[in-house]
Structure 1
Amino acid sequence: MEEFYMNTKKPELLSPAGDLKSLKAAVNAGADSIYIGGKMYSARASASNFDLDEIKEALDYCLLRGVKLFVTVNTLYKQNEIGEVVKFIAKLYEMGVTALIVQDIGLSRIIKESFPDIKLHASTQMTAHSLDDVKFLERLSFDRIVLSRELSLAEIKEIKENTNVQIETFIHGALCISYSGACLMSSMIGGRSGNRGRCAQPCRRRYELECDGARIENKDKYILSLKDICTVDIVGELIEAGIDSFKIEGRMKKPEYVAGVTAVYRKYIDSAPSPLTPPPHQGRGTKAPLPKWERGWGEGTDKQTLAQLFNRGNFSEGYYHTTKSKDMMSMKSPKNQGVLIGEIIGYEAKNKDCIIKAKLDLAKGDGIVISTRNGDEVNRTLAQPVLANTTFKQYLEDKVDIGSKVYRIYDAKLENDLKAFYEKDTKKHKINMKAELRRNEQLKLTIYDKENIVSVNGDIVEVATNNPTSEEKIKEQLSKIGNTPFEIEDISIESHLNIYINISKINEARRTAIALFTEKILSTYRREAQKYISDNISEVKRFECEKKITVLVKNLTQFLAAIESQAARIYVDIFEFNDDMESMIENAHEKGIQVFVALPYILRSKNKEKVYKKIFKKLENTDIDGYLVRTYSEYDIIKASKKKKVIDYTLNLYNNNAISFWLNQGIENITISPELNVTEIAELTEGQEIIVYGKLPVMFIEQCIVKNLKGDIACSEKGKKYYLKDELNINFELERECNLCLNVLYNSENIYALANANKISKLGVKYYRVNLKDEDYETTKNILRIHKEALVNRGKSKEISEHVEKMKNIGYTRGHYFRGVE
């Protein structure tokens, strides 16, 4: 198994499959490995996906052709789901699945304890975006880390040079605007959680950017939509960086897409120089030595083929060489833009025909899209082929502007050729045969390759009386392995002269040997069932705890109000913590209040030094009580500190195994995911923390949305408030975190739990957190006082009722406390 898993000198090409057709397409197009999801427990719930029988069929198909199969269990699991997920994994383990792709840190611990022989990959949903993140996961015995898409090539090289774990990155397909695993937008606005594989893709919707009530003019409205990534021009550089696995995104794409994209990258990987003997750099990496490969089906270059299969207004190379850029965005439309094939040169109003001049040859069945004057897009399917540099007409009700571009979004010939290509089942396992035929003895047929060998005995070989069986005839019959995963390299015959054996008996021996050889190969990957797996599932731990109010503050005014209100614990953002606050720590301690510093939501290597110095040259020498940890890397940085540590909700804690993992690291307490409802929270280990008030960040965005629309002037603006307004006229505040060069998008409404204080106060949590943003001194004091009275003292005063009514008028959300996520 180990030898099968290890990478060769060139990187692994990892392709997606949402169904069996796509899987076979990927295998036959040259993928080294395939990743799929089950009907349940997968981060692409909208794909067709595979049930257990289909997974086994897919696995056998792959293993017999020397291809690895990874199964995604890369969502977060509630406590009442863990048992069933582990049973599902047990089945995958026994089948011989190569690796599991995981997001849930609690589940990852169960897998390592119960199924140590299966490879464990950290999903990109774990938001590994720095060297320290990777080191942390490497120490947890992950075999591979799928990095956040936002990392640069320089950062990836640094990670490869300083770790021994395998690294996987995305080379083609869709890019999310938010760091994967750190996005709550779809969850908070519609209950469809990206952490549960049900993202509704709110980043592909229309938004206006507003500042202080005024709209920032921009004709293209899809300001959160990124172009797909395409890296064919930099494949050599990615190989030279030492990336172990090249991942194609697209489990929801059709087989033709999977086949076409896989085939292009297979060619480029195979054509690139060996990473052991890289050529000298020529400009940007190794583009020059790569041969230009024209695709074998249809017309056009590789990038045009990729663009025809799917693109959102061309491609970008992602973040490999670009930190952020307007050029990476597809603001005009988030849909497939196709390939430019011509333009409108006239419109016949009488017949309502637009006249199009074609730049490319078009086939019958091609699908084109035409933009009308009112902004609508009209799709048409060609009834006849069209030659390049000729004109043709299409009926159109609405008028169009002369000069408007026309795009082909469906290439009939390409699609048909790709389908014929991937249905050929060309990927075969090479075998050799040896047949021994001696008079009056049984036929002996042996099939072997470099690792496996089987032999079968057949019918008795007779002395020929009049029509001996020739070696040519024997070879002919043995060669008939047609609809099998095998390809014969050589057939050797050792035979007496003048022998006879019935042809049907040769066929029978061949079929038996093929069946045994098939089982021989598959048996090397099957595993014995593991026992006592339920022992590794953590149960709820209950104990009495004194209820307390904690608060996250954004400025000194709120800090002082929190001290005055005697909150049990105050969290202060690391970049807001200043000398004035430090001077107030003693005052806070005199009132029994703890002061913690909240570390950044995202901590890239480029910002590590800034934060590291702040911690070790400043904070460690103060009397702060501890840190609010938001990334794996931050825990790694401060793990040796004697100060207390609290894990924030950003590490996505859904179940008791995840909680137990962190508590075993000496953590004070964890913050439960805001995606769980009260029933689900009640099943978790008591004494933890939940957020009961405040606007939650729903996206962490590497792009600067303001700069994309306003230019460099955005970097010099201070104190301005920006909002994204959606199609329902709902505003989401867009905060520019300039210390980290990061955009943070906040939910439109505050979470507010006091309308259901009776149920919330009965939960076994210890800490109720208030997250402040723009609240002034008096509002802060009032909010903290009301929450303490309602949740800690379980009061039912008129003041509480009035506050609830006031919040109803303002508008709030109960979050997921009484709905949860799918």
Structure 2
Amino acid sequence: MLRPRIKPEVMSPVGGFPQLKAAVEAGADAVFFGVNPVRGAGRADGAGFHARAKVGFDMEALPEIMRGLHARGVQGFVTFNVLVFDRELRDAERQLMALAEAGVDALIVQDHGVARLAHQICPDLPIHGSTQMSITSAEGAEHARRFGASRVVLGRELSLRDIERIAAQTDIELETFVHGALCVSYSGQCFSSEAWGGRSANRGQCAQACRLPYDLLVDGEYRDLGDARYLLSPGDLYALHQVPELVRIGVNCLKIEGRYKDAEFVALTTAAYRQAVDEAWAGQPLSITPQQEQDLEQVYSRGLAPHFMAGTNHQTVVRGRAPRHRGVRVGTVRGVTERGVLAELSEPLKPGDGLVFDPANWRAPEGREEGGFLYGLWHNGQQVGDVRAGGVYELRFGRGAVDGSRVRVGDPVWRTHDPGLNARVKPLIEASDPVYTRPVSARFVGHVGQPPQLTLTDEAGRSFTARLPEPLSPARNRALDEANLREQLGKLGGTGYHLSDLKVDLRGEGFLPVSALNGLRREGVDGLTALRAQTPSRRIERVLDVVAADSPTVQGEPRLHVLVRTPEQLDAALAEAPDSITLDYLELYGLKPSVERVKATGIDVRVASPRILKPTEQNLQKFLLSLEAGILVRSGGLLEGLQNAGQTELTGDFSLNAANVLTARALLNLGLDRLTPTHDLNAQQITELAGLVGPERLEVIAYGHLPVFHTEHCVFCRFLSDGTDYTNCGHPCESHRVALRDERGRTHPVMADVGCRNTVFEGRPQIAAPHLKDWLAAGLRNLRLEFVHESPETVREVIRAHRAFLNAAIGTPELEVILSGLSDGGTTEGSLFVPHDFGMLDALPVV
């Protein structure tokens, strides 16, 4: 599919008014931000419907913000990028209507049902599928289009070649991140905050568990990783040098991450990517200076690199030495003196610079690092001002600022603060007049005897014509000419415009005073600005109805569905004869014999698909269909590709993130026989959802390990090989068992899938035992038991215990005791826990 050549937008993150000003003055084409709810229209926890709860704008200020942005030629995109619960749908509808009325240019949405709801409320309001939709293929993009999206934000794990393949297969608008923090987990597929803190990353409450230290256990033994304890903490994305390729491919928008960053970060990153896009579009080489690049590293960096965009190299994505901002490395410690620290410098330093001595926190368990603001530099006992690279200098700090006993020879020295950077960025963040200007073309018509007029046209084709009331007089001395008009009409300083083109239509030799010409120019500028700032006229309507949830009809006996991950677990499951068995193997192509074994017993068999499918992995769909088994569908892209799958039984998994009735019904209408709700729902919310969609349409997980991280980064390759990817790593995932041990001493198994993606599982099984009676009373009959690292005997015991409970041979307390005794670390309710104040609602919204 040939995509039209288009100059991509530069989109900047905005957490408040200083960042908003910085983005506009640095040349952003668009900004994205969250909006706090109108009174009485927020989430159940009182927060807004966006994933950065600590920053954003109040709804009351939004109309004026949008007018100001549009006047400067900048689009404003609002993040509505959280999963929305059934209890919140009415408030979400009110918020969506208010956003549409305020004139926002697009909504960035994660929840599929909410995306469709927003499109129904206001068909004229563009919907952008968030990166939290985990879109990594053209099929995934088309799936988002079904729900109203006109643009999708691609996963940050895609290479340039992947992006190009997607661009060739779909005409939907594509947006990709080019700078900022990377999540180790695929966005929308991280449940670590949910598992370990009761707070959902899909609800904007990320606890950043990926930035914590972990021990690596290989085959049960501790593996010393040296200074790489932060083995799930990636470096930051830096794709400035990939901009020409992204322009060539036809990506519509380049996005900078960082709504929690300050104005300096926004200004510097926006200006750099603005320059890169302009130069690439003009066919010019990138002319970013070394100082500009160093400033980008200085303002905020965990280590900048293109990472996955440049191709997979698992040795570089996660360095693992530290999880936080480092800035620029300026030297290495060579010794400690009575008054300071000796360092061999690789970069110039000056008094006032903020420095930190990096011991790697494996030697400082409490996380404290030594550092402070530099007081002065000494060389051979003399204070010096000029510092040359390669020299060894004594760095001195204020009294008590640095404990020399905690600084070691060989420690890197980082500059975390550079006062000079503040001076360089100040013009962008403190300017009183517009810094970045947009082009306008002008047409002046001056016919003697008729009122002169000036038409200004902006880059979007909007025009405004200003006219003088009096006719143009004949010239007595110097007549109007093009040079004179260009000089006066080009005086657009302080307006946010610059004159890009002038056409002149003169008849007769006319004269116009400079004051009149200036007045005509000012009237034209004011009129065009007012025209640009107008709020768009949109058709907006309420579409949700509110009805009571139906009482469930209890039918049939409960069914146990078992998911296994090894042939040994399969043997155990077959011995217990559950109602179905799902095979979730590392090696998909070894599935066929196991499928045939299950079929031979008369037990229903399913195969689990990967949660991520990239453009080169679409042949997996054909393979899965060739097995003639049911399919556990784990991605929207695969669901899209299976729309003509015939009689194949399809079950949607938790990773489709169905959190409400709108999403659940829409997914079920795409050919799913049953659907597993997202792990973001607690047990009572699952019960309520069952009442809305029908309990027979849900399959709930009664026993399993929460998949806390699902990541493109391969721990096996990084730490058990010297390879860069699956082609040269030696596949240690096939011969070793790996687990991560957290700071509490709990171990969490790591498993790889067919695409070499890793899943880190919560070590303790999450059980639904305290809620099974309520689920059964609500009509839920399809219960799934999922196994990760359990032994065959444990598999059998877990199945037997649940069967005994369903047969009323044991009660809830006995089931909980049995399950807890089968796990070394005990069990957890995890995401199913229901707070004591979580009451039922009398009515829930449905469509």
Give the TM-score taking structure 2 as reference length. 0.81
Distance in 2 of aligned mates of 1:759 and 1:21: 51
Distance in 2 of aligned mates of 1:555 and 1:717: 13
Contact 2:216 2:739 in 1 (8 A): yes
Report SS of the residue matched to 1:81.
Answer: helix
Contact 1:160 1:242 in 2 (8 A): yes
2:257 is matched with 249
- Cα offset, 1:647, TM superposition: 0.4
Contact 1:369 1:407 in 2 (8 A): yes
Q: Does 1:553 align with 2:564?
A: yes
For structure 2, the residue ranges without an aligned partner over 5 or more in a row are 37-46, 378-384, 474-479, 723-728, 839-847
1:686 is matched with 694
Contact 1:674 1:815 in 2 (8 A): no
Note closer, same or farther for the CA distance 1:529–1:538 as it changes in structure 2 (3 Å cut). farther
2:652 to 647, 663, 684: 647
Distance in 2 of aligned mates of 1:475 and 1:162: 47
1:627 to 609, 615, 631: 631
Report SS of the residue matched to 1:388.
Answer: coil
Note closer, same or farther for the CA distance 1:539–1:331 as it changes in structure 2 (3 Å cut). farther
For structure 1, the residue ranges without an aligned partner over 5 or more in a row are 1-5, 276-288, 295-299, 464-469
1:3 is matched with none
CA deviations over 1:630-688 (Å, ceiling 9, x no partner): 11222233332212211000110100000110122232111011221233223312321
Distance in 1 of aligned mates of 2:498 and 2:491: 10
1:780 to 792, 795, 807: 795
1:554-703 aligned within 5 A: 554-559=565-570, 561-563=572-574, 565-573=576-584, 575=588, 577-588=591-602, 593-609=603-619, 611-617=620-626, 619-620=627-628, 624=629, 626-641=630-645, 642-684=647-689, 685-687=693-695, 688-703=698-713
Q: Does 1:302 align with 2:306?
A: no
Distance in 1 of aligned mates of 2:819 and 2:112: 37
Report SS of the residue matched to 1:80.
Answer: helix
Contact 1:754 1:790 in 2 (8 A): no
CA deviations over 1:439-461 (Å, ceiling 9, x no partner): 9x9x9986633544556899999
- Cα offset, 1:226, TM superposition: 1.2
Q: Does 1:333 align with 2:340?
A: no
- Cα offset, 1:793, TM superposition: 5.2
Amino acid at match of 2:80: V
Contact 1:366 1:410 in 2 (8 A): yes
Report SS of the residue matched to 1:408.
Answer: strand
Report SS of the residue matched to 1:650.
Answer: helix
Note closer, same or farther for the CA distance 1:213–1:111 as it changes in structure 2 (3 Å cut). same
- Cα offset, 1:497, TM superposition: 11
1:393 to 360, 379, 395: 395
1:283 is matched with none
Note closer, same or farther for the CA distance 1:129–1:18 as it changes in structure 2 (3 Å cut). same
Distance in 2 of aligned mates of 1:798 and 1:333: 44
1:159 to 166, 169, 186: 166
2:353 to 343, 348, 366: 366
1:280 is matched with none
- Cα offset, 1:254, TM superposition: 0.8
- Cα offset, 1:146, TM superposition: 1.2
Note closer, same or farther for the CA distance 1:86–1:437 as it changes in structure 2 (3 Å cut). farther
1:11 to 8, 12, 20: 8
Distance in 1 of aligned mates of 2:138 and 2:165: 7
- Cα offset, 1:693, TM superposition: 0.7
Report SS of the residue matched to 2:618.
Answer: helix
2:87 is matched with 80
1:744 is matched with 759
Distance in 1 of aligned mates of 2:789 and 2:463: 72
1:714-753 aligned within 5 A: 715-716=731-732, 718-737=734-753, 739-753=754-768
1:317 to 306, 310, 322: 306
1:20 is matched with 17
CA deviations over 1:178-199 (Å, ceiling 9, x no partner): 1111111122111222111221
Note closer, same or farther for the CA distance 1:382–1:130 as it changes in structure 2 (3 Å cut). same
CA deviations over 1:352-389 (Å, ceiling 9, x no partner): 42244655444453211124696552231235694323
Distance in 2 of aligned mates of 1:158 and 1:497: 59
Q: Does 1:292 align with 2:299?
A: no
- Cα offset, 1:81, TM superposition: 1.3
CA deviations over 1:305-359 (Å, ceiling 9, x no partner): 22112222x322221232232122231112122112344454323xx42244655
Contact 2:746 2:825 in 1 (8 A): no
1:278 is matched with none
Distance in 1 of aligned mates of 2:413 and 2:54: 30
1:44-123 aligned within 5 A: 44-123=51-130
- Cα offset, 1:762, TM superposition: 3.4
Report SS of the residue matched to 1:382.
Answer: strand
Distance in 2 of aligned mates of 1:762 and 1:62: 54
Distance in 2 of aligned mates of 1:759 and 1:545: 12
- Cα offset, 1:213, TM superposition: 2.7
Report SS of the residue matched to 1:585.
Answer: helix
1:806-817 aligned within 5 A: 806=821, 810-817=825-832
1:423 is matched with 430
1:532 is matched with 542
- Cα offset, 1:405, TM superposition: 3.4
Report SS of the residue matched to 1:319.
Answer: helix
Contact 2:267 2:429 in 1 (8 A): yes
Amino acid at match of 1:662: L
Report SS of the residue matched to 2:370.
Answer: strand
Distance in 1 of aligned mates of 2:92 and 2:771: 32
Distance in 2 of aligned mates of 1:342 and 1:498: 68
1:286 is matched with none
CA deviations over 1:703-740 (Å, ceiling 9, x no partner): 22122123157625644321111122221111133x32
Note closer, same or farther for the CA distance 1:780–1:67 as it changes in structure 2 (3 Å cut). same
Distance in 2 of aligned mates of 1:201 and 1:795: 40
Q: Does 1:406 align with 2:413?
A: yes
1:123-202 aligned within 5 A: 123-202=130-209
Report SS of the residue matched to 1:816.
Answer: helix
Note closer, same or farther for the CA distance 1:308–1:323 as it changes in structure 2 (3 Å cut). same
Note closer, same or farther for the CA distance 1:486–1:608 as it changes in structure 2 (3 Å cut). closer
Note closer, same or farther for the CA distance 1:788–1:506 as it changes in structure 2 (3 Å cut). farther
Contact 1:538 1:656 in 2 (8 A): no
Contact 2:456 2:525 in 1 (8 A): no
CA deviations over 1:7-46 (Å, ceiling 9, x no partner): 9633222221111221221221122221212235455425
Note closer, same or farther for the CA distance 1:755–1:486 as it changes in structure 2 (3 Å cut). same
Report SS of the residue matched to 1:682.
Answer: helix
* Number of corresponding residues: 773
1:381 is matched with 373
